[in-house]
């Protein structure tokens, strides 16, 4: 079964009635779409479930458990969850363990959107490379960078 997985295209222009908050949200979504576009794109939960269905008895329950437990990167866009496809091993759609390990490090310090953005932004502890670029070849370095990011965030919070 082939799901209709795609890279969502950002709107080219915000409506004139858009609020500053809405424009910030649109810009953040555009950053995520661009960052993940080069790494398999984004898929809705329905699309991921479709890819999982041949390999899992209860793919909806399994995916929901992964999302709630933050074993996978997911974020809301409008009224649906989106999941970057880089984090799944095909064909079974098993999540990359290192993503869950990064979530353990950063999950209580970042919201889901910030956690999703962390993977597609240059990271100081990875030589200004993006974690998503290194995850498949050097997952330990990415998890270590998440730990260092955690320490830096905690230090910033303590100094405030």
Q: How far apart are CA 88 and CA 48, in angstroms?
A: 10
Residue 27 pLDDT class (50, 70, 90 cuts): confident
Confidence band (pLDDT; 50, 70, 90) for 18?
A: low
Please report the pLDDT score of residue 92 as a whole number. Answer: 95
Q: Could you tell me which residues are beta bridge partners of residue 83?
A: 43
- For residue 123, the cross-strand partners are 129
pLDDT given for residue 78 in this prediction: 81
User: Each residue of 38-69: pLDDT tens digit?
Assistant: 999 999 999 999 999 999 999 999 999 999 99
- Choose the weakest-confidence range: 4-18, 21-35, 57-71, 126-140: 4-18
Please state the rounded mean pLDDT for residues 24-50: 91
Average pLDDT on 4-15 reads: 42
Of the chain, the percentage scoring pLDDT greater than 90 comes to 73
% of the chain with per-residue pLDDT over 70: 86
Query: Is residue 88 classed as helix, strand or coil in its secondary structure?
Result: strand
Average per-residue pLDDT for the chain = 88
CA–CA distances in Å: residue 60 to residues 2, 63, 66: 17, 5, 10
Query: What pLDDT band is residue 29 in, cutting at 50, 70 and 90?
Result: confident
Residue, of 76 and 93, whose pLDDT is higher: 93
Q: Decide: 87 and 75 in contact? Cβ < 8 Å.
A: no
Backbone phi, psi, residue 48, to 5° = -65, -45
| Confidence at residue 66, expressed as pLDDT on a 0 to 100 scale | 97
């Amino acid at each position: 079964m082939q799901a209709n997985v795609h890279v969502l295209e950002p709107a080219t222009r915000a409506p004139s009635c858009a609020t500053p908050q809405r424009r910030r949200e649109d810009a953040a979504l555009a950053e995520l779409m661009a960052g993940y576009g080069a790494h398999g794109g984004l898929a809705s939960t329905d699309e991921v479930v479709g890819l999982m269905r041949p390999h899992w008895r209860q793919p909806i329950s399994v995916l929901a458990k992964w999302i709630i437990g933050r074993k996978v990167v997911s974020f809301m866009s409008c009224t649906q969850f989106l999941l970057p496809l880089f984090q799944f091993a095909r064909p079974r759609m098993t999540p990359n363990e290192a993503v869950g390990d990064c979530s353990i490090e950063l999950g209580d310090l970042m919201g889901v959107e910030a956690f999703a953005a962390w993977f597609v932004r240059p990271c100081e502890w990875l030589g200004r490379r993006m974690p998503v670029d290194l995850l498949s070849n050097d997952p330990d370095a990415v998890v270590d960078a998440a730990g260092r990011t955690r320490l830096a965030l905690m230090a910033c919070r303590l100094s405030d």
